[in-house]
Amino acid sequence: MTETQTEPEAPTLTTAEKRTVRVRWFLVGFLVLGGVVNYLDRSTLSVANTTIAEEFGLNALSMGLLLSAFSWPYAIANLPAGYLVDKFGPKKMFAFAAGAWSLVSMITAAANSFGFFYAARVALGIAESPFFTSALKVNERWFNTKERALPVSLVNTGSQIANAIAPPLLTFLLLTMSWRGMFIIVGALGIVIALVWLRIYRDPTLKEQALIKGAQAQHTVAASVEKVGWGQLFKHRNTWFMILGAFGIFYTVWVYRTWLPSYLQTARGFSLSDSGWLAALPFLCGIIGVVFGGWLSGRLVARGTNTVLARKIPIVGGALLAAAAVLPVAYVESTPLAIVLLSVGYFASQVPIGCLWTLASDVAPSNQVASLGAIQNFGGFIGAAVAPVVTGAILTATGGNYTLVFLVGGVLLLVGALSYGLFVKQRAAADG
């Protein structure tokens, strides 16, 4: 009799919990897929670097300017994008972004001049700006603070998966369909992503919110009532050091993403097809790095470590290890050793990435999570915009010597580690 009385109640709660878990992890999985397509679009120019440079008659500095054309408008557009995601929600903004960046990618296939190409890359940067802030907002709505690091890191593996498969996949498309066909195919994938997202995404119900937030529910409601102006975030020291720290880390990441295939071809003597496969190795290591960073942060929180400290340990440790691996590449003559160091460096540079986004959700008010994440990403992509241009200028000035390229990258990784490690604090401490 006792068993029949208790059975109806337990399955109801368990079923609700299981349904919530299925929905939210399904959304994370789809965001990973969205991240793959998003970064394939970004990677097209890097893979076609030498081919397009030859067709358009571009030197290293001009190619650096073209490679940076995506990043600086992306950085600036992140500022309003974060606000718009907070205002309109991730469903509308992600679908809009995916549709827009896909159309731009397909239009780029018609480029017939440097100016056309440059304008298309600027438009691509603006169109893609809401993606990661939308993903962060989804994460904030579907996961509580203790659970947040792993799903945010998993979403960021989408970019790493794309970086790993882009060199061989896009090189294959380039060789079989020309660079124009490559742009069209990758753009078409994004249209599919946008349509499916509109079909599948929904915010959690009130009952699901209670299951997700648990004891945090009351705090979340209180935080959502607090209406603080978006510009107020710039009055906090955390915001500025998160911008500087992200700049230092993203700079070197984007040296990899924009110049690695060219480095392997021009400095190490590999063919276009061979460099496509070799360039995938560091990016494969990057997938492991992102997941490891999220796992480590989650483990630290589970063991009782302060949440902000649990984010900072992978961020600082990863940046320091990356610097230790990247700096010696400047002086290594052995090609296998250089590739090992580059792989270790990229692995370590990706350990902080998911934790950077999670840190924004830990130190920002609930209604400004996407805004602070976008502001931090703005700083990162200023670094991403500067990296290709500075690299191109160094190569032009030195006749193609990469020594100073790796030295600058290593030093900026140290700047990133120091910014997060010494100056980013708990919100109350930072405001004091």
Pick from 36, 57, 262, 56: nearest CA to 171: 262
pLDDT of residue 369: 75
Taking the C-alpha atoms of residue 13 and residue 246, their distance in angstroms, rounded to an integer, is 42
Pick from 278, 414, 288: nearest CA to 350: 288
Q: How far apart are the first and last CA of the chain?
A: 60
pLDDT of residue 343: 96
pLDDT of residue 421: 94
Tell me if 359 sits within 8 A of 311, measured CB to CB.
yes
Pick from 357, 287, 285: nearest CA to 325: 285
Write the single-letter amino acid at 22: R
In the 8-state DSSP scheme, what is residue 422?
I
Taking the C-alpha atoms of residue 264 and residue 203, their distance in angstroms, rounded to an integer, is 45
210-224 burial code (b ≥16 CB/10 A, e <16): ebbbeeeeeebeebe
Taking the C-alpha atoms of residue 364 and residue 88, their distance in angstroms, rounded to an integer, is 18
Taking the C-alpha atoms of residue 39 and residue 215, their distance in angstroms, rounded to an integer, is 37
pLDDT of residue 196: 96
pLDDT of residue 270: 85
pLDDT averages per 10-residue partition of the chain, 432 residues: 42 59 89 92 86 89 87 86 88 95 94 92 94 88 82 83 85 91 94 95 83 54 48 85 96 89 86 78 90 91 91 96 95 92 96 87 76 86 89 92 94 96 72 47
DSSP character string of 301-347? HHTT--HHHHHHHHHHHHHHHHHHHHHHHTT---HHHHHHHHHHHHH
Tell me if 131 sits within 8 A of 94, measured CB to CB.
yes
Single pTM value for the model: 0.74
Q: CA neighbours within 13 Å on the CB side: how many for 298?
A: 17
pLDDT of residue 4: 44
